[in-house]
Structure 1
């Protein structure tokens, strides 16, 4: 698959503090790309550099094969959807969408029949039919986001940048808009680069997920690979679904603060030594039940459980004081009731662990 955007050794610092440290990435044509990272990782800086709102200190940016660092934002053919939508409150839905067509610097559209036809098609595409004459102060958050997206798409960019596009919406609407954004992108056939700090959102949305950590691309992979095989303990931490122990490898065991954990599973050479086991790979058992020959087992005291609809997350205090989390999918069985401060065995298969050396 060919690339629409190529980043080569892109660097940026503010007042001598590095924000981006040698970013290399290739974004595929006609794809949904998620850019995931914690606050301060450089996500918005990278997005603004691609858009042209900031200039890099070094490196190069190629868009459709042509170098664009130094090119003005309105000449790049890249659309930008802001987190707060940035709509004009004094204009109607249709007038907001038409604004970019009528007022762009290059080739503004002056024929009102052409503008009306393009706006009408875009309104149908994003599901706003019937709201054309409504003021943007009289529509919902999800509808505002569709207006902002339509205003960008009507100018026919080759790529759209979305800065935390679901951040201003409530939880139910965020979930619904995920599917709608993907469907709109597929109908348009352009690449979306969606910046988010939510691991759930990044995994649900992206054909490819880029993980940004301290100004570097820590991993680029499809959602399934990222979830099952994070490239480092830091990436596993961002995914918020792994229990991670620090320590060191010694022979066939991993020495940690909760004891020696027998090795098995996948080994990765990345960063500081760590041992990771995903929340949903752990079984909770009565104390005294011996682990099978291919299992690892530790002990912990039950603290509390949280329901999240399809699953229940149970929290245990380990002997070193840390909290250990277990996720149980309720489709497997009815939820167990655990005794408060009761001691339990927490077991998992050796092969399910990830070891970073």
Structure 2
């Protein structure tokens, strides 16, 4: 079986002796632009780590440094405890799956996989029967048995993605790097391939490092999620913990499910243009500029009660602001209702249709937007 030949870290009494992948203060600049800033990350054998970040955050640069396509300016990269400095890409035992697939268009599916086995510099596979066995095992793993004779032009986009993954896996890499592997697929194929990636990774027990700009993809696939922002690793955590407690306002913004409120903290409250709301207990003693993040799906919408000055409905731990309803966006299982606050900013409320259905809002009408102060995330500005 293909999975039985993957390179694994040594184990003593059930505990891995060394990280499958270890980045030590890795930095890279292009001219005066710092693409990566002292990134340190340890990935255990068998982990599926997702790297989340916006465009330009350094995600692809990080993968290229691990793969050996580029060299770091500072720091070092280790795989299974071995420093990869000075080793070319083909000597690292690292597999790479490109977003563009990077398949040979003039070769069949079988030959795309066989090419790397036959012509690799280290231990090329010469025996045709062995090449056939290894290629067939890799195609079976990704659900493409029987398609080896087809040309690349005769298969769908989802099948091309599977071929690209199989071509990576047939080389039995120590670490698999995936550069936005679902970005070129439509929504249905993305969901299907996401399930396939987790199934394959679990079946092999291999180490996967997957970069994406999609927060839902990162949270769904990663056993841990690492967040890159402007070349720096700003948080790495379990998906649920990262979602519920982002370490910074930058991370919260990347998760794309929070409303920001910026103002001045004093007396246990945050005051800003057209709002005055209670702070959570952890920020009750703050003074000065602060930023609060409010989850879209934690907000209740009621008919507005004029004249309360935005200080709530009598409950000191319940926040309240006023918003004018603009429109709603329907997205299948959820609806996003969009309001404009007194300061002119947009405030969004998310309804998951399996839990609650949105009221019939009237465009241009004012509504009270309420949430519990304890569910507010507060950050020093």
Q: For this structure pair, what is the TM-score category when the shorter chain's length is used for normalisation?
A: over 0.9
Q: Where do 1:197-276 residues align within 5 Å? A: 197-264=213-280, 273-276=290-293
* Structure 2 unaligned residues grouped into runs of 5+: 1-14, 306-311
User: Which residue of 1 is the match for residue 356 of structure 2?
Assistant: 333
TM-score when scaled to structure 1?
A: 0.96
Matches of 2:298 and 2:319 in 1, distance apart? 11
Q: How many residues align?
A: 355
User: Which residue of 1 is the match for residue 110 of structure 2?
Assistant: 94
User: Which residue of 1 is the match for residue 330 of structure 2?
Assistant: 307
User: Which residue of 1 is the match for residue 11 of structure 2?
Assistant: none
Structure 1 residue 294 corresponds to structure 2 residue 322: no
Matches of 1:113 and 1:325 in 2, distance apart? 60
Matches of 2:172 and 2:272 in 1, distance apart? 55
Structure 1 residue 126 corresponds to structure 2 residue 149: no
Change (3 A) 1:28 1:273: farther
Matches of 1:319 and 1:110 in 2, distance apart? 72
User: Which residue of 2 is the match for residue 175 of structure 1?
Assistant: 191
User: Which residue of 2 is the match for residue 144 of structure 1?
Assistant: 160
Give 1:345's match in structure 2, choosing from 368, 372, 379. Answer: 368
- Contact between 1:264 and 1:350, CA under 8 Å: does it hold in 2? yes
Superposed CA deviations along residues 183-238 of structure 1, whole A, max 9, x for unmatched, are 01111111111111111111111111100001100100111011110000011001
* Structure 1 unaligned residues grouped into runs of 5+: none
Superposed CA deviations along residues 25-83 of structure 1, whole A, max 9, x for unmatched, are 11121011110100111111111001110100011111101111321111111000111
Change (3 A) 1:43 1:265: farther
Q: Where do 1:155-166 residues align within 5 Å? A: 155-166=171-182
Give 1:54's match in structure 2, choosing from 67, 70, 73. Answer: 70
- Contact between 1:253 and 1:260, CA under 8 Å: does it hold in 2? yes
Matches of 2:282 and 2:300 in 1, distance apart? 20
Superposed CA deviations along residues 97-150 of structure 1, whole A, max 9, x for unmatched, are 111111111000001111101111111110001211111110001100110100
Q: Which moved more, 1:288-297 or 1:151-160?
A: 288-297
Superposed CA deviations along residues 279-306 of structure 1, whole A, max 9, x for unmatched, are 1110111112936443111000000011
Change (3 A) 1:114 1:265: farther
Q: What secondary structure is seen at the aligned counterpart in 1 of 2:20?
A: strand
Q: Which moved more, 1:260-269 or 1:118-127?
A: 260-269
Give 1:280's match in structure 2, choosing from 279, 287, 297. Answer: 297
Change (3 A) 1:177 1:243: same
Q: How far is 1:248 from its partner?
A: 3.0
User: Which residue of 1 is the match for residue 8 of structure 2?
Assistant: none
TM-score when scaled to structure 2?
A: 0.90
